[in-house]
């Protein structure tokens, strides 16, 4: 069945099923507005379906919202099994410098390299390159000042890596334990950042 792409389709009989299918095949995370346009329903109807998907914690898939886009991701609880299936049993660990830099970016984004370096007290160029190569951060614009430095923000991959569906799931800064009381994370021995 071929359809004219300029003519709207009737709303699907099963909107929930259709939205899941669209999220599964989308090359980039679509917005609720895009899903509403494609399915010929209102954004409110799309949001109701998205809320329904999010409200079921027993599913193997979850929604990840990032900026305006929505994607289906695997449930964080299934991560060890997904990693084994994909041959990722030993995921690459992040160095202390990388974790510190990610924290600065996640909590203060968008930020420049200079702002990151002022918070951390050390250079951040190599750490930024490493995090960008891992697709955990990406440029998100330029600061409107002399030199127009790049602004950095975390990516959807960051959310996946830490099992988050949105940045608001990060603990508030004032609730974090002092560093001496936090769990010690293994560091990569080959990274000297």
Whether the pLDDT of residue 36 is over 60: the answer is: yes
Asked which of 26, 44, 78 is the last residue of a domain, the reply is 78
What does pLDDT average to over the chain? 81
* Higher per-residue pLDDT: 181 or 97: 97
* Higher per-residue pLDDT: 55 or 175: 55
Asked which of 29, 50, 78 is the last residue of a domain, the reply is 78
pLDDT of residue 50: 93
Q: For the chain, give the percent of residues with pLDDT over 90.
A: 20
- Asked if residue 5 is part of any domain, the answer here is no
- Asked if residue 103 is part of any domain, the answer here is yes
Whether the pLDDT of residue 3 is over 90: the answer is: no
* Share of the chain residues as helix, strand and coil, in percent rounded to the nearest 5: 45, 10, 45
- Asked if residue 126 is part of any domain, the answer here is yes
Co-location of 74 and 100 in the same domain = no
Co-location of 36 and 68 in the same domain = yes
Kindly report which listed range (41-50, 122-131, 182-191) carries the lowest average pLDDT score.
182-191
Kindly report which listed range (62-66, 79-83, 112-116) carries the lowest average pLDDT score.
79-83
Whether the pLDDT of residue 182 is over 60: the answer is: no
Question: What tokens were used for 165?
Answer: 């569906």
* Higher per-residue pLDDT: 106 or 166: 106
Co-location of 169 and 100 in the same domain = yes
pLDDT of residue 90: 55
* pLDDT tens by residue, 149-160: 888 999 888 887
38: CATH: 1.10.10.10
CA distance 17 to 24: 11
The torsion of the CA quartet 33, 168, 127, 125, rounded to 10 degrees, works out to 70
Co-location of 151 and 100 in the same domain = yes
- Asked if residue 1 is part of any domain, the answer here is no
| Helix H or strand E encompassing 70 | strand 69-74
- Asked if residue 6 is part of any domain, the answer here is no
User: Strand 69-74 and strand 150-154: pairing?
Assistant: unpaired
pLDDT of residue 89: 58
The three-state secondary structure class of 118 is helix
Domain count, the chain: 2
Residue with tokens 């330029």, as numbered in its chain: 142
- Asked if residue 144 is part of any domain, the answer here is yes
Are the beta carbons of 83 and 114 closer than 8 angstroms? no
- Asked if residue 111 is part of any domain, the answer here is yes
- Asked if residue 43 is part of any domain, the answer here is yes
Arithmetic mean of pLDDT, 87-104: 77
Arithmetic mean of pLDDT, 98-106: 88
Tell me the residue range of the domain where 31 lies.
Answer: 15-78
């Amino acid at each position: 069945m071929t359809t004219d792409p300029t003519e709207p389709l009737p709303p699907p009989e099963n909107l929930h099923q259709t939205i899941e299918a669209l999220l599964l095949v989308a090359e980039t995370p679509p917005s609720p507005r895009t899903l509403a346009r494609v399915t010929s329903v209102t954004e409110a109807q799309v949001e109701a379906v998205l809320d329904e998907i999010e409200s079921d914690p027993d599913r193997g898939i979850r929604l990840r919202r990032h900026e305006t886009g929505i994607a289906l991701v695997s449930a964080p609880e299934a991560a060890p099994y997904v990693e084994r299936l994909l041959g990722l049993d030993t995921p690459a660990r992040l160095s202390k410098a990388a974790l510190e830099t990610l924290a600065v970016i996640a909590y203060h984004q968008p930020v420049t390299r200079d702002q990151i370096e002022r918070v951390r007290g050390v250079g951040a160029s190599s750490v930024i390159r490493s995090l960008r190569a891992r697709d955990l951060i990406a440029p998100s614009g330029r600061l409107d000042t002399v030199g127009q430095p790049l602004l950095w923000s975390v990516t959807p991959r960051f959310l996946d890596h830490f099992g988050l569906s949105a940045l608001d799931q990060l603990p508030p800064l004032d609730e974090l334990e002092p560093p001496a009381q936090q769990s010690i994370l293994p560091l990569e021995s080959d990274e000297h950042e």
